[in-house]
Structure formats: structure tokens, C-alpha cells
């Protein structure tokens, strides 16, 4: 049964040291989205024993930084970093629910391949794979020191969608400005068990021997 934590308990929890950070845990579903120049982030991140959703202060958004505006042929970064942004939202961690809590994005880094602005007219949208790493922490809204109640090292991957608007440029080359970027997380592909890898290797070896025998018999 999930145990609810009343708001009054949050202050008491700040007196308890945060759990020592262990190995990174995957973000298996959810999203991280920024819409508009210099905008805040909206997010909903979920993993095996945690879920956090809310908003964060603006960070460094690659397309926002490099597209003001972009001309055809310009290289556009799709990386995004939130290295110390704070915000508010809700969270559930290790069976405890925090309906209203402060949240911090520490060293959040989304990495993706660069793109080149196209030489065509009209707004455009691109999708690319991305990887993610970061540290999520929660703190009581009444705590001016933002002492962590919980922390999680996170990793993730998925597919981003970035949109760009065409800017009016009568008689000139196409110009584009950043509209939005959204990172949608996907569950990591399962790693094969050692026994499975052994079976695959054995099957490949047997197939190679059969091909060799067939070549010898035909010669």
C-alpha cells in the first residue's frame, strides 16, 4: 500500500539525509518539453521506483540558442542542458507521494545529432534519437536551503521532435526560428542474458561450419 506523506511531514523529512546516490536508474517513460524562446521546461519523468512531473526554470536549449533566426545551411544544435534549474511539481518516490514539492534539475543533459537548416521555404519539423543523463532531487517548498529529501541519478534515451517556424524574408533566403523541442523517453532495449548470447554464438558457429561443408562438397 502506498503511504501518503502529508505536507507537514515534508519539513521533518528535510532533517533526514538524502539516500546515498547509487547507480543511475533509467527513465522508462515520459517527456521533457520546451516551447518558445527562453521558455520554462515542462516534464513528466517515470522509472521503476519514482515519478516526477512539473515545471523548471529556463535552461540552455540548443535550437533556442543557435536559431535567432537560422538561415539555410546553418548548423543547429539539438542538445539541451538544465544544469541547476529549480521548479515545483509532484513526485512519488519509493512508495511515498509528495503532492507538492520543490524539484531541481541538476546536470540534466540531452544530447542528439546536429541538423542543418534546410534550403526550402516553409516551417519544418525533425525527429532524432537522443541520450540523457542527470540528477533529480526534491526538497520541501518551505526549505530555503533546498536540502534534498530524495535524489536520483537518471539516464535515458528516446526520440526528440523539434519544430521550426519560417520567418518572413521577402526576396531573401529562407529563415527559421525555434518553436519547440520535446524529448520523449523510451524504455531501454533489454540486454541479452549471457546464456542467450552463448546460444546465438553457437548458432552462428554451426551455420559457418555448414557453409564450409557445402562449399567443400560442391568443389
d(CA 133, CA 190): 19
The reported pLDDT for the residue numbered 17 is 43
Cβ-count burial 48-68 (b if 16+ within 10 Å, e if not): eebebbbebeebebbbbebbe
The reported pLDDT for the residue numbered 120 is 85
CA 122 remoteness from chain centre: 28
Splitting the chain (219 residues) into consecutive groups of 10 residues, what average pLDDT does each group show? Answer: 42 43 89 94 96 96 90 94 94 95 96 94 94 97 93 97 92 90 88 53 54 55
The reported pLDDT for the residue numbered 110 is 98
Q: Please, which residues bridge with residue 75 across strands?
A: 116
DSSP-derived 3-state class of residue 102: strand
The reported pLDDT for the residue numbered 219 is 55
d(CA 158, CA 144): 35
Question: Is the entire prediction scored with pTM above 0.85?
Answer: no
The alpha carbons of the chain give a radius of gyration, in whole angstroms, of 24
Amino acid at each position: 500500500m502506498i503511504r501518503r506523506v502529508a505536507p507537514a511531514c515534508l519539513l521533518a523529512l528535510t532533517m533526514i539525509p538524502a539516500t546515498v546516490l547509487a547507480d543511475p536508474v533509467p527513465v522508462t517513460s515520459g517527456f521533457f518539453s520546451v516551447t518558445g524562446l527562453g521558455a520554462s521546461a515542462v516534464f513528466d519523468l517515470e522509472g521503476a521506483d519514482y515519478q516526477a512531473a512539473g515545471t523548471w526554470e529556463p535552461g540552455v536549449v540548443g535550437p533556442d540558442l543557435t536559431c535567432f533566426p537560422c538561415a539555410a545551411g546553418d548548423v543547429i544544435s539539438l542538445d539541451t542542458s538544465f544544469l541547476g534549474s529549480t521548479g515545483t511539481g509532484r513526485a512519488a518516490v519509493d512508495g511515498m507521494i509528495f503532492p507538492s514539492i520543490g524539484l531541481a534539475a541538476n546536470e540534466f543533459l540531452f544530447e542528439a545529432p546536429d541538423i542543418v537548416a534546410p534550403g526550402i521555404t516553409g516551417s519544418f519539423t525533425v525527429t532524432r534519437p537522443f541520450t540523457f543523463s542527470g540528477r533529480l532531487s526534491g526538497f520541501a517548498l518551505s526549505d530555503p536551503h533546498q536540502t534534498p529529501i530524495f535524489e536520483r541519478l537518471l539516464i535515458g534515451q528516446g526520440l526528440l521532435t523539434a519544430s521550426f517556424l519560417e520567418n518572413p524574408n521577402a526576396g531573401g533566403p529562407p529563415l527559421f526560428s525555434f518553436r519547440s523541442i520535446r524529448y520523449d523517453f523510451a524504455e531501454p532495449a533489454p540486454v541479452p542474458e549471457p546464456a542467450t548470447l552463448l546460444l546465438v554464438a553457437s548458432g552462428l558457429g554451426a551455420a559457418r561450419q555448414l557453409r564450409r561443408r557445402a562449399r567443400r562438397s560442391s568443389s
